[in-house]
Amino acid sequence: MSRNNSDMQAVSEKIQETSSFVDALYKELDNIIIGQKNMVNRLLIGLLADGHVLLEGVPGLAKTLTVSSLAKAIDTRFKRIQFTPDLLPADLIGTLIFNQKTGDFSVKKGPVFSNIILADEINRSPAKVQSALLEAMQERQVTIGEESYRLEDPFLVLATQNPIEQEGTYPLPEAQIDRFMMKIKIDYPTEEEEMKIMRSMARTERPAQPKAVVKPKSILEARKVINDIYMDEKIEQYIINIIMASRHPDKFGIKKIEGLIDFGASPRGTINLNLASRAHAFIQQRAYVIPEDIRAIAYDILRHRIVLTYEAEAEEIQTEDIIESILNNIQVP
């Protein structure tokens, strides 16, 4: 795949036009969210690349606040759904209501009919509820009775998991978790950030609300431009090599992780690494992808797609260690 200079210039100009909202969005969220710049950046990449995001972190790290603030800043409809053991699929997607006066059924749409969905503690609900949401994520439609209803664009699901409290949970199977473009690990704020949080939030009045600085139309226009961002054949091969190394590390001479991987990344990992790296380049206002784009996003794309063996778990080896070994051993173009 090659592209001449005039084409690249045209794409670069499009990026300049359509990416102007990025700085405005960061600035507005900066007024509300202290720290967590990585989370905000990855949520924006998910939004631009049309990919759902799984957030993992202990309670109190501003996950809900960040997601709701993002929805307000881009002027879209937002619904927060608290996943509980007694939640039913109908509570999520909606149901048919019988009208005794007319003798007809009418559709009552559920909270999934929104633009940004926060599925809070998704692993607290049974498999049927998880499947109902994941079907909506994959098909971008919901079936109620005999009718199917398209979900409005942009449609983004941001699900949270608590990593420290596993009692009474229903962990997502690998096949379902693979439908999330990224899995982001949320860390504690630094000491300096913690001080800013305390001074800002330790008040009895309600904190300031974000203003709408972007229209959904701008997000959809940016998605079209992302498709035109240039990716050289060597960069494409670099992505393929990373994915293949997660399945067959021996073929790439990575002896350190042989026998530690049960299953490598799926083809969804390949597709999402490509899309997310283009979105990363777009945010950097570049008309082409470089290896740094791929390396920057690789951990978030792969950490939930690589399944470790019992041996790796016994040795307390983390998925991040495996990804690090792959990135350090695959030749950078």
pLDDT, one tens digit per residue, over 47-87 is 999 999 999 887 777 788 888 888 889 988 899 998 888 88
151 & 26 share domain: yes
158 & 237 share domain: no
Asked, as a colleague might, if the bond just before 189 is cis with ω within 30 of 0, I would say no
Consecutive H or E run containing 93: helix 89-93
Q: Distance between CA 150 and CA 154 in Å, rounded? A: 12
43 & 161 share domain: yes
129 & 192 share domain: yes
Consecutive H or E run containing 118: strand 116-120
213 & 235 share domain: no
147 & 296 share domain: no
* DSSP letter string, 151-168: PPSS-EEEEEE-SS--TT
User: Which amino acid belongs to residue 54?
Assistant: L
Q: What is the pLDDT of residues 254-306, one digit of tens each?
A: 888 888 898 899 999 999 999 999 999 999 999 999 999 999 999 999 999 99
Q: Distance between CA 116 and CA 119 in Å, rounded? A: 10
Distances (CA, A) of 17 to 21, 22, 285: 9, 11, 10
Q: Residue 30 is encoded by which pair of tokens?
A: 């900066």
> CA dihedral in degrees (278, 279, 285, 289; nearest 10)?
-20
- Domain of residue 195 covers 20-220
**pTM for the predicted model, two decimal places:** 0.88
Task: Say if 260 falls within a structural domain.
Answer: yes
pLDDT: which is higher, 170 or 104: 104
Task: Say if 317 falls within a structural domain.
Answer: yes
Task: Say if 284 falls within a structural domain.
Answer: yes
Which of left, alpha, beta for 279 (phi over 0: left; psi -120 to 50: alpha)? alpha
Domain count, the chain: 2
137 & 179 share domain: yes
CATH number where 233 lies: 1.10.8.80
Task: Say if 15 falls within a structural domain.
Answer: no
- Is the model's pLDDT at 232 over the cut of 70? yes
Nearest residue to 48 via CA among 268, 276, 272? 276
Task: Say if 256 falls within a structural domain.
Answer: yes
Q: What is the pLDDT of residues 102-134, one digit of tens each?
A: 778 888 888 999 999 998 888 888 888 888 888
Choose the final residue of a domain: 160, 189, 220. 220
214 & 169 share domain: yes
Task: Say if 49 falls within a structural domain.
Answer: yes
